Amino acid sequence: MVRGRYGFPGGHRRGGSLGLALKAYAKLNLTLSITGRRPDGYHTLRSLVVAVDWADEVHLEPIPRKRIELRTMPDLHIPHGENLVYRAAELLWRQFSPREGVRIVLLKDIPVGAGLGGGSSDAAATLVGLNELWGLGLSTEELKGFARELGADVPFFLGESPAWMEGIGDLLRPAQEEIPPVFLVLVPPFPCPTSKVYRIYDELAEPAPGPTEVFPNDLWPAAIRLRPELSGYMERLQGLGEIGVGMSGSGSALFAAFDGEDVAEWAMDELLGRKVKGRLKLVRPQIRGYEFLR
């Protein structure tokens, strides 16, 4: 049998003996407001979130041994116990004791530590895929219950997009706002760890305003305190975005919004011509956080 680079059989199809595969989409926080802080230290927020077509892939293959195997790319240095994909599989495994094991191959493309939600999206796709692979018959709401045990923003990737995210990120309702059709995402060559950004946010007595009124983000002042060079990256975007620019989550990913593909492609070419360091990608909104590969 022909196997791919990471040992997963070729010729995938949805279900069946060869297993299945899913795209796990990234998200953009188009707006983010901090609304308070709970006694347990978690911040509450209100954020307009949209899934976009920058994707990882989660491949699931049934194996006869009753165990969970996880294969990741060589440069992904995350212990299995901390990997949300493994934790998602383990959560369902312990609850339902399926008759067969699973080999999971995680192919990463979404940058880590950029505020794009790749790890949470991977976990959500794993829950969806194993629900089908193991024939668990769980509803979306039941899957969201397991998702909340993995992380506050994991449930978003199981529901409708765009959505308003509230509470600590676990309260969701569909958004009626019109979303721009295309975004140019710029990911600088450094992460912005969420815990550090929030800690700095708490230390700032009077946070300065964000970079834009169109896509406001209360965490922007803390992010640039942690990574002052973010300001330079944002300045490169500000003259290019037709609709506006913003930062996703706690950073470091920045974005510019456009009304059409042609102008967005021109903006991307402009940044490529200036040899801006980091990753650039044009992305488009999706109606949910995952998609089966057929």
Which residues are known to be catalytic? 27, 153
- Write phi, then psi, for 73 (nearest 5 degrees): -70, 150
Estimate the crossing angle of helix 140-150 against helix 118-133, to 10 degrees. 140
CB 104 within 8 A of CB 89: yes
Cα R_g (the chain), whole angstroms: 19
Sign of CA dihedral 269, 116, 156, 145: positive
Separation CA 242–CA 184 (nearest Å): 11
Burial 249-263 (b: 16+ CB within 10 A, else e): bbbbbbbbbbeeeeb
